[in-house]
Structure 1
Amino acid sequence: MIVESEDILLVHCKNLIEEKLGWGNSEKWTNQDFEELSQRIFEATSITLSPTTLKRIWGKVKYESAPTITTLNTLAQFLGFEHWRGFRQNHFPKNDTSEPTIVNTIEAEPRTKQPYLFSFILPLLLVFGIASWYFISKEQHKSTQINASDFSFSSKKVVSVGVPNSVIFDYDASKAPDDSVFVQQDWDPSKRIKVGTNQHQHTSVYYYPGQFQAKLIVGKKVVKEHNLFIQTDGWLPFIEQSPIPVYFKQQEALNDGKLGLSLEKIQQQNINLKPVAPVVQYSNLKDFGDVKTNDFIFETSVKNTYREGASICQYTEISLLCEGAAIMIRLSAKGCISENSLFFIGKNISGKEHDLSGFGTDFKDFAKVRCESVNGQVKIFVDNKLAYEFPYEGPVSKIVGIKYRFHGSGLVDDIKLAKGDGKVMFEDTFAE
């Protein structure tokens, strides 16, 4: 019998994710931790794995079935691999590239040889387990010796608003037990840079606007972190790509009282629309005044204008950025609502597990979206119909940004952000 088991590989994958997050032993993770992980996976891959799915993978919820290949691919992508097959090849390069299988064949050799195989493998696994325990214990012991009060960490932006924007980090890590000191731009470990223990400054470039959580890390422990707000100068239209997006001027996206880049302007930058169209983003990050996530009304109208090739689902995302949190509503063509999702502070609602058909539209006309959080209840309307509602839960946060993402191209017709009592804090009709 030849057995290709994915169990060990999945355990290794989870260990790498835990190491990447730096949240400590997953046995102590709370529901909020899994909600945060779900959001981070979505931000990195644009695919939603619900907190419930993640709990099943980590053994918090009893579930007999193995993870689907879609789930495995998403976990691998979160770690920087193209898919699960690529993750497997990286760790077991001699294996073939077929999907995980269990193949039963007629034994050509006597069964008496099997005990020899196990007598070789089991001691090897035992040695591996002891070695792993030793190094993990050593790292945990090292982490307990680190006192966060021994370190300092602050930052200052080179320009007050706009991107690209360089940030100068001032830090003191002279009391680090070794040279494993890092400055991380945000939650993404790929933005983690090793810095000198005896140095005191590091600079990083931020190409995207946003509300970030910069971190100073010693070993595997976050010893200091603070909010870093990269604002925009009005509306910033750009096309997402790594590492540097393609920026446009605000005036290039304003036409006939609407905000949106035309296909012609996109193609002028030699950006292909097929087979996969780019993601076009419009962001406005600023101080909107004292408007909080537990007491606001947000209204807007959007239209996805591209429905070709792989963009048939016309995914459209509307986000409110908050201090340390976010609100995200995804719309799509009606046939694709299974891939929709709704994220509100710490609450992640997946179209895989909930009926989000109310977020499906044909985009023949502008879709009117209203999100209100008033008197402890959150309600979202699409074209004046209640699409979803739930009680407000979680911390209260200040709203500091509005963001639209269109898979392909799209238009925004109007925006109004008000307090729960109707007092308008921000309004834009895009009149030139």
Structure 2
Amino acid sequence: MTDNQQFLEKCRKLIEEKLGWGSSNQWQNQDFENLGDRIFEVTGVVLSASTLKRIWGKVQYNSKPNLSTLDALARFAGFANWRTFTASVISPQPEPAAPAPSSKKRRSFKIILLMLALAGAALLIGSIFVRQPRSPLTFDQLRFSSKPVTLGVPNTVIFEYDATHSNADSVFIQQSWDPKRKFSVDKNLHTYTSTYYMPGFYKAKLILNDSVVREHELIIESGGWMGAILREPVPVYVTDRLHTVPGQTGISQQDLNDLHIEQDKTAPIVTLANVSREPDISSRNFLLSLDLQNTYHGTPSPCLHTNIVVLGTDGYLLLPLGKPGCAGEFNMMLGELPVEGRTHDLSAFGVDFSKPVQLKCEVRERHIQITVNNKEAYAGRFEKDIGKIVGVQVNFFGTGFIRNFQLKATG
């Protein structure tokens, strides 16, 4: 095994421990899709389920992951980048020398202990298999609803539930697709509150034992444009600084300095979001247009990655921008269709951020066209729409602003 493979295996183990989803040997396609969403939420980088399956060895693939993928994995695992991660991993120790003849008795004793332990484990496993199976899950008169208490974020959501007529041993409420945001609730109670720190479209779930029995849509509105610097477990809100320059929405590097945001090891991810249940816009026919500029000058963000995300009730669109030399690291997501810079020519999304960039995205009758500075960057079929559009999010690796924002139905 090469050093790089050992580093990748260590990074996978750290991610699995962080997720707490059990052995990756049992992961299904949905788990890898959820992991991709988690990585995007933390790092702003899109890694498709197919890419993650290759990294976890679920799909045969001979090429090595590119550096942008490795950086995203390392950042999700809690490191500044891949280089910082590999530097922190202790090199494997050499194999121990063969034991001297005087240690043979000790070695034989260890083998005996190991055999006894294996025999005990076999008996335990056998007893598990002969146990009576759990009774089938039964439930009726279930109730599950939710209500945000305010407009904007942070926002407490009050969940009302009733699972008293079920035979479930345990009851959980899950905030969204993320299994880590699942909370155990008292089966005999009926109210539970949970805090949401970012606006968006969520699907809350009521889980009995290990089965999702009820699910409903939940929109956390932003109350207009809001801003935040993403970090765990709670973002830093910067909404009060968004409109200091007339005609544009965003924050500057001076704002980061004033807020004492660390910038030495990695560039902060600044998110501008506008989420609302009001616009009645179908993703089958719409136009998005805006001017934007990444204004960051720090060394931790050489590519100035900037992602524009259109949020829908059945998925999202992600449109990437960045410096021209980084086009191979761009990743676009069009609903269920990933378009990776490693296997597609996304060079038209490479831009000069010394001045504002104009981006347009138009969908008409299953056809999508994206233009950058009035030049076509991508066009093709858009077979699977993302449902009703509920908002837009712009993620700057560093700082930036938007202006002349427009989102409207065209059908």
> Where on the TM-score scale, by shorter chain, does this alignment land: which range?
0.7 to 0.9
Question: CA–CA distance in 2 between the matches of 1:413 and 1:292?
Answer: 23
Sort the Cα spacing of 1:284 and 1:185 in 2 relative to 1 into closer, same or farther, 3 A.
Answer: same
Sort the Cα spacing of 1:53 and 1:246 in 2 relative to 1 into closer, same or farther, 3 A.
Answer: closer
Question: CA–CA distance in 1 between the matches of 2:172 and 2:127?
Answer: 20
1:157 aligns with 2:158: no
- Cα displacement (A) at 1:37: 4.3
Deviation per CA, 1:160-196: give whole Å up to 9, x if none.
x111211111112335555532222222233222211
Question: CA–CA distance in 2 between the matches of 1:157 and 1:313?
Answer: 38
Superposition TM-score, scaled by structure 2 size: 0.78
Q: Which residue of 2 aligns with 1:202?
A: 192
Q: Which residue of 1 aligns with 2:313?
A: 323
Among 136, 149, 152, the residue aligned to 1:145: 136
Sort the Cα spacing of 1:256 and 1:5 in 2 relative to 1 into closer, same or farther, 3 A.
Answer: closer
Question: CA–CA distance in 2 between the matches of 1:259 and 1:135?
Answer: 64
Q: Which residue of 2 aligns with 1:428?
A: none
Consecutive unaligned residues of structure 2, counting only runs of 5 or more, are: none
- Cα displacement (A) at 1:122: 10
Question: CA–CA distance in 2 between the matches of 1:23 and 1:222?
Answer: 21
Q: Which residue of 2 aligns with 1:362?
A: 352
Deviation per CA, 1:41-83: give whole Å up to 9, x if none.
3224434433332333565533357878986886687677999
Q: Which residue of 2 aligns with 1:51?
A: 49
Among 392, 399, 420, the residue aligned to 2:410: 420
Contact between 2:138 and 2:166, CA under 8 Å: does it hold in 1? no
1:20 aligns with 2:26: no
Deviation per CA, 1:220-276: give whole Å up to 9, x if none.
322222111111221112222333333234574241311122333332223234343
SS in 1 for 2:300: helix
Deviation per CA, 1:266-304: give whole Å up to 9, x if none.
322232343433222221112353211121121111100
SS in 2 for 1:310: coil
Question: CA–CA distance in 2 between the matches of 1:289 and 1:35?
Answer: 28
Among 30, 36, 39, the residue aligned to 1:38: 36
Contact between 2:308 and 2:319, CA under 8 Å: does it hold in 1? yes
Question: CA–CA distance in 2 between the matches of 1:294 and 1:171?
Answer: 35
Question: CA–CA distance in 2 between the matches of 1:359 and 1:311?
Answer: 17
Contact between 1:38 and 1:48, CA under 8 Å: does it hold in 2? yes
> Which deviates more from structure 2 when the two are superposed, residues 190-199 or residues 8-17?
8-17
Letter in 2 for 1:52: S
Deviation per CA, 1:6-46: give whole Å up to 9, x if none.
999899789879973999964xx45x775554334322443
SS in 2 for 1:380: strand
Letter in 2 for 1:248: V
Q: Which residue of 1 aligns with 2:59?
A: 61
> Which deviates more from structure 2 when the two are superposed, residues 281-290 or residues 319-328?
281-290
Contact between 2:359 and 2:370, CA under 8 Å: does it hold in 1? yes
Among 336, 345, 348, the residue aligned to 2:338: 348
Sort the Cα spacing of 1:209 and 1:176 in 2 relative to 1 into closer, same or farther, 3 A.
Answer: same
Letter in 1 for 2:261: I
Consecutive unaligned residues of structure 1, counting only runs of 5 or more, are: 88-95, 422-432
Contact between 1:298 and 1:418, CA under 8 Å: does it hold in 2? yes
Sort the Cα spacing of 1:74 and 1:278 in 2 relative to 1 into closer, same or farther, 3 A.
Answer: closer
Question: CA–CA distance in 2 between the matches of 1:85 and 1:267?
Answer: 26
RMSD: 4.6
Contact between 2:229 and 2:271, CA under 8 Å: does it hold in 1? yes
Question: CA–CA distance in 1 between the matches of 2:170 and 2:296?
Answer: 47
What pairs with 1:13-412 in structure 2 (closer than 5 Å)?
A: 20=21, 26=27, 29=28, 34-35=32-33, 37-57=35-55, 61-63=59-61, 97-98=89-90, 142=134, 145-147=136-138, 149=140, 151-159=142-150, 161-175=151-165, 177=167, 179-249=169-239, 252-412=242-402
Deviation per CA, 1:374-401: give whole Å up to 9, x if none.
1212222212222223321325400011
Give the share of equivalent positions with the same residue, in percent: 35
Paired residues in the alignment total: 402
Superposition TM-score, scaled by structure 1 size: 0.75
